[in-house]
A = this chain, B = another copy of it.
Amino acid sequence: MNESFKALADPTRRQILRLLREKDRTAGEIADYFNMSKPSISHHLNALKHAGLVQDERQGQFILYSLDTTVLEEVLGWFLEFTGTGKESEMHSRTESKPKQNKDKNREVD
């Protein structure tokens, strides 16, 4: 989830997602939308891929990128739960954690 948040924290990457929302596109096609070298775009695509936000598939000479909405909806869920717009099940989570305890440091909750 942290990877997703980090991936979304960049305007270029969000724009790439917007482009892929319209339709699947090749890496080069995506790169044409930006004033940036292809390696840089490749790097951003990689970040999105590692975050699980896009998928890629080689099609001959090209590599076709497509949106994967699964993780996006997880993040959406985070916001829904957070803002209280969503299901109430988590809203009265009185798991009031205590300060300075610092146990379970590697849990990776959100």
Chain A residues proximal to chain B, CB less than 8 Å: 2, 5-6, 8-11, 14-15, 17-18, 21-22, 29, 32-33, 35, 69, 72-73, 75-76, 79-80, 82-83, 85, 96-97, 99-100, 102, 110
Contact B2 A82, beta carbon cutoff 8 Å: no
* Residue of chain B at shortest CB distance from A8: B5
A-B pairs, top 10 by smallest CB distance, nearest first, are A9-B9, A32-B99, A76-B79, A5-B9, A6-B9, A33-B99, A32-B100, A72-B83, A76-B83, A14-B110
- Which of B9, B18, B76, B102 has a CB less than 8 Å from the CB of A8? B9
Q: For the complex, would chain A's binding face be called helix, strand, loop or mixed by DSSP majority?
A: helix
Knowing A22-B96, A33-B100, the reply to whether A72 touches B79 (Cβ < 8 A) is: yes
Copies in the complex: 2
Question: What is the CA–CA distance of A6 and B10 in the complex, to the nearest angstrom?
Answer: 7
Q: List 11 A-B contacts (CB under 8 A).
A: A5-B14, A9-B9, A11-B110, A14-B110, A18-B82, A29-B99, A33-B100, A72-B79, A73-B85, A75-B79, A76-B83
